[in-house]
Amino acid sequence: MDFDLENPLGNFHDLPCDAVPSLFLIESDHIPPPNYCQSLKASDFDISVRRDVVSLISQLSCTFDPVLPYLAINYLDRFLANQGILQPKPWANKLLAVSCFSLAAKMLKTEYSATDVQVLMNHGDGGAIFETQTIQRMEGIVLGALQWRMRSITPFSFIPFFVNLFRLKDPALRQVLKDRASEIILKSQREIKVLEFKPSTVAASALLYASHELFPFQYPCFLRAISDCSYINKETVVQCYNVIQDIAREEYESVLNINSTSDTPVNVLDEHFLSLESEKTNGTNVVVTQEQDFKRRKTTDYGNNRRVPFSHFHQC
Amino acid sequence: MEKPGGGGVLSAKEAFEKLEKVGEGTYGKVYRAREKATGKIVALKKTRLHEDEEGVPPTTLREVSILRMLSRDPHVVRLMDVKQGQNKEGKTVLYLVFEYMDTDLKKFIRSFRQTGQTVPPQTIKSLMYQLCKGVAFCHGHGILHRDLKPHNLLMDPKTMMLKIADLGLARAFTVPIKKYTHEILTLWYRAPEVLLGATHYSMAVDIWSVGCIFAELVTKQALFPGDSELQQLLHIFRLLGTPNEDVWPGVSKLMNWHEYPQWNPQSLSTAVPSLDELGLDLLSQMLKYEPSKRISAKKAMEHAYFDDLDKRHL
């Protein structure tokens, strides 16, 4: 069988245009059940366990394709939703992290060094050394809990479909949009609030947010394209967009904080703030329900590479 | 669904009673079995995992995941469960539990050939519609079958339901093809671009197979019964004409291309004389030389040939 696991609609033009319903139909098989998010919120301990394991997976995955940790964390959430928090022990968290990471690496055909994994997991305490058999047994438990549905339908699966709706003709612009949306999706996965939404909704919201940042004048057209898509619930996208906006804002605030220590070159901030420069249009008010923190200035010439000094930006 | 890790979960051996071995292949054996708890008959496919240091092999993991995903469609044989167990030597064994189907399309066609009867036209139409629907579902998930043939299209003779089997790992369990039969390596349903050594397959390879099966349902004989790759190509060329750059741009650059005898195309009605005009049109669109010109499975379902078919239960 030939298929691109990461991007099942990768050869979009080769697939029948009505192939898309398949992904929308089955995406719910590949996310935690709806009550998982509420269950996590109800227990500070559960949230901290998830955060710990997510952190461990991120350490294991830091040198790999970002889709790998996304898939591993998806397995983690589906496993926790099915099994609950069984053993509140640090070594159990590590074993679960290693098992989810290993299964995701296998699904993506990613080679990794078991020795490196051991070294990383043993850092900080001398105790836990997992034998191969132990990991294999844990993998078996995760597989059983997930009923071997390991080809998770992630938000990445839907990005090409939505980008095609946007009718951006320049391949470079499409790639920039995809990259920014992917970055947003990866960051948002760490927040449990996003777990309430289906992958297609997360993908649509992330793309809208990225398009608002990068192509503000075309944003109303993109919004209309998403709204017209019969597979998408518009109200849910609005809710998800707001969650994503909050997460992305935290990103900018942390950048501001970094700058205050004078450790970060001003140019880094220039790049971020320049991408925010835009004029508000009526279309944006449909989903942007909160006032912008930063004053925005209109520039008349997008082809001009002039950079605006940081000192010219200030809060309203 | 049984939860792992708890007490009282039956191992695969304890949960099923093996009734008879019905197949054997590269990776393991196939049994007709009965689930003790429910009395349900299943096809049990058993494979030893080739473990080294890595536990479940990536290939197995990927392919079982695909089978789980595809099992949603009523026209793909359903993978009901996956169980891990241990054999007598303590090695890990994987059991794939599939729904059991009584017969397949190969046996079905042979039964008509033996009695001298033709397959009723409405039956052909129903089976073909179900086949297109199942293939469309697989292609909709970006998955090719690449080995469609009557033997791996399972049927329930009472309901005339048809299901696609032998996707991926499950394919490794087929009955081994004995030497000297006329179905060596299943050439008969293979698309010309595959025979000519194309390195990049597309969904069109499955559509070609669907077309060959369509013709065989009508005539009860294989459309292109070659016994070598060269003979397979010559069978195709004799009916459809030897391809050239005009009808199939790029054909002469394919790896296995040679000079071939030059035949002119014949009308498909000479090969499938009892098929009506709409059926012949659909068949011709499935047997286009240029892969990108071949009809898709989804479009085939919309073809006028199926207009008078009652699709409510399909």
Q: In terms of domains, do A139 and A183 share one? A: no
Question: Does residue B214 surpass a pLDDT of 80?
Answer: yes
A25 has a chain B CB within 8 A of its CB: yes
Domain B13-99's class? alpha beta
Q: Would residue A20 count as lying in a domain?
A: no
Q: Would residue A269 count as lying in a domain?
A: no
Helices A199-214 + A266-276 axis angle, to 10:
100
Among residues A221, A238, A258, which one ends one of the domains?
A258
Q: In terms of domains, do A145 and A41 share one? A: yes
- What CATH number does residue A70 fall under? 1.10.472.10
Of B190, B188, B200, nearest to B250 by C-alpha is B200
Q: Would residue A307 count as lying in a domain?
A: no
Sheet holding B16-24, edge to edge: B16-24, B28-35, B41-48, B92-99, B79-86
Q: Would residue A284 count as lying in a domain?
A: no
Instruction: Enumerate the residues of chain A whose CB falls inside 8 A of the CB of residue B1.
Output: 147
Rounded to a whole number of angstroms, the distance from the CA of B119 to the nearest CA of chain A is: 31
Q: In terms of domains, do A114 and A181 share one? A: no
User: Using CB atoms, which residue from A8, A26, A144 is nearest to B142?
Assistant: A8
Among residues A208, A237, A258, which one ends one of the domains?
A258
- CB within 8 A of A166, min separation 6: which ones? A174, A177, A207, A211, A218, A221, A222, A225
Q: Would residue A179 count as lying in a domain?
A: yes
Q: Would residue A35 count as lying in a domain?
A: yes
Q: In terms of domains, do A49 and A142 share one? A: yes
Q: In terms of domains, do A143 and A162 share one? A: no
Question: Which of these ranges, B26-30, B157-161, B220-224, has the smallest mean pLDDT?
Answer: B26-30
Q: Which residue of A has its CA nearest to B147?
A: A1
Measured CB to CB, residues of chain B less than 8 Å from chain A are: 1, 3-5, 51, 53-58, 61-66, 68-69, 72, 82, 84, 92, 136-137, 139-146, 167-168, 201-203, 296-299
Q: How confident is the model at residue B288 (pLDDT cuts 50, 70, 90)?
A: very high
Question: Which of these ranges, A64-78, A169-183, B18-32, B217-231, has the smallest mean pLDDT?
Answer: B18-32
Question: Does residue A267 surpass a pLDDT of 50?
Answer: no
A114 has a chain B CB within 8 A of its CB: yes
Q: What is the pLDDT of residue B22?
A: 80
Question: Does residue B45 surpass a pLDDT of 70?
Answer: yes
Contact assessment for residue B189 and residue B213, using Cβ atoms and an 8 Å cutoff: yes
Q: Would residue A206 count as lying in a domain?
A: yes
Q: What is the 3 state secondary structure string of chain A?
A: CCCCCCCCCCCCCCCCHHHHHHHHHHHHHHCCCCHHHHHHHCCHHHHHHHHHHHHHHHHHHCCCCCHHHHHHHHHHHHHHHHHCCCCCCHHHHHHHHHHHHHHHHHHCCCCCCHHHHHHHHHCCCCCCCCCHHHHHHHHHHHHHHCCCCCCCCCHHHCHHHHHHHHCCCCHHHHHHHHHHHHHHHHHHCCCHHHHHCCHHHHHHHHHHHHHHHHCCCCHHHHHHHHHHCCCCCHHHHHHHHHHHHHHHHHHHHHHHHHHHCCCCCHHHHHHHHHHHCCCCCHHHHHCCCCCCCECCCCCCCCCCCCCCCHHHCCEC
B209/B164 Cα distance (integer angstroms): 13
Q: In terms of domains, do A63 and A121 share one? A: yes
Q: What is the pLDDT of residue B308?
A: 94
8 Å CB contact of B1 and A3: no
Question: Does residue A211 surpass a pLDDT of 80?
Answer: yes
Rounded to a whole number of angstroms, the distance from the CA of B233 to the nearest CA of chain A is: 24
Q: Which residue of A has its CA nearest to B3?
A: A145
- The distance in angstroms from the start CA to the end CA of chain A is 56
- Two tokens, residue A195: 């777990």
Among residues A258, A273, A288, which one ends one of the domains?
A258
Mean pLDDT of chain A: 72
Q: In terms of domains, do A206 and A176 share one? A: yes
B243/B249 Cα distance (integer angstroms): 9
Residue owning tokens 């071995």:
B21
Q: In terms of domains, do A96 and A182 share one? A: no
Instruction: Enumerate the residues of chain B whose CB falls inside 8 A of the CB of residue A18.
Output: 140, 298
Instruction: Enumerate the residues of chain A whose CB falls inside 8 A of the CB of residue B144.
Output: 1-3
Q: What is the pLDDT of residue A257?
A: 61
Pick one of 2.60.40.10, 1.10.510.10, 3.40.50.300, 1.20.1420.20 as the CATH number of B103-306: 1.10.510.10
Q: Would residue A174 count as lying in a domain?
A: yes
Domain that holds residue A180: 154-258
Of B50, B43, B63, nearest to B93 by C-alpha is B50
Instruction: Enumerate the residues of chain B whose CB falls inside 8 A of the CB of residue A9.
Output: 142
Q: What is the pLDDT of residue A128?
A: 59
Residues of chain B with CATH 3.30.200.20: 13-99
A172/A156 Cα distance (integer angstroms): 18
% of chain B residues with pLDDT over 90: 55
Q: In total, how many domains does chain A have?
A: 2
Rounded to a whole number of angstroms, the distance from the CA of A117 to the nearest CA of chain B is: 13
Local structure of residue B76 (DSSP, 8 states): B
Cβ atoms within 10 Å of B51's Cβ, excluding its own: 14
A201/B162 Cα distance (integer angstroms): 35
Instruction: Give the residue numbers of the binding site of B.
Output: 45
B147/B217 Cα distance (integer angstroms): 17
User: Using CB atoms, which residue from B65, B139, B143 is nearest to A148?
Assistant: B65
Instruction: Give the residue numbers of the binding site of B for ATP.
Output: 45
The CA angle A131-A135-A136, to the nearest 5 degrees, is 110
Distance of CA A106 to the CA centre of its chain: 20
Q: What is the pLDDT of residue B270?
A: 96
Question: Does residue A301 surpass a pLDDT of 90?
Answer: no
8 Å CB contact of A22 and B141: yes
For range A219-242, the mean pLDDT: 88
8 Å CB contact of B139 and A15: yes
Local structure of residue B140 (DSSP, 8 states): H
Q: What is the pLDDT of residue A59?
A: 86
Question: Which of these ranges, A291-300, B157-166, B268-277, has the smallest mean pLDDT?
Answer: A291-300
Question: Does residue A187 surpass a pLDDT of 60?
Answer: yes
Q: How confident is the model at residue A7 (pLDDT cuts 50, 70, 90)?
A: very low
Helices A234-260 + A266-276 axis angle, to 10:
160
Q: What is the number of CB-based contacts under 8 A between chain A and chain B?
A: 118
Residues of chain B with CATH 1.10.510.10: 103-306
Rounded to a whole number of angstroms, the distance from the CA of B141 to the nearest CA of chain A is: 7
Selected residue with higher pLDDT from A304 and B220: B220
Q: In terms of domains, do A71 and A187 share one? A: no
Q: In terms of domains, do A119 and A192 share one? A: no
**Burial class, B15, CB count within 10 angstroms (exposed 0-12 / middle 13-18 / buried 19+):** buried
Contact assessment for residue B188 and residue B226, using Cβ atoms and an 8 Å cutoff: yes
Q: In terms of domains, do A107 and A139 share one? A: yes
A145 has a chain B CB within 8 A of its CB: yes
Q: Which residues of B are catalytic?
A: 147
Q: In terms of domains, do A56 and A158 share one? A: no
pLDDT by residue (tens digit) across B115-126? 999 999 999 999
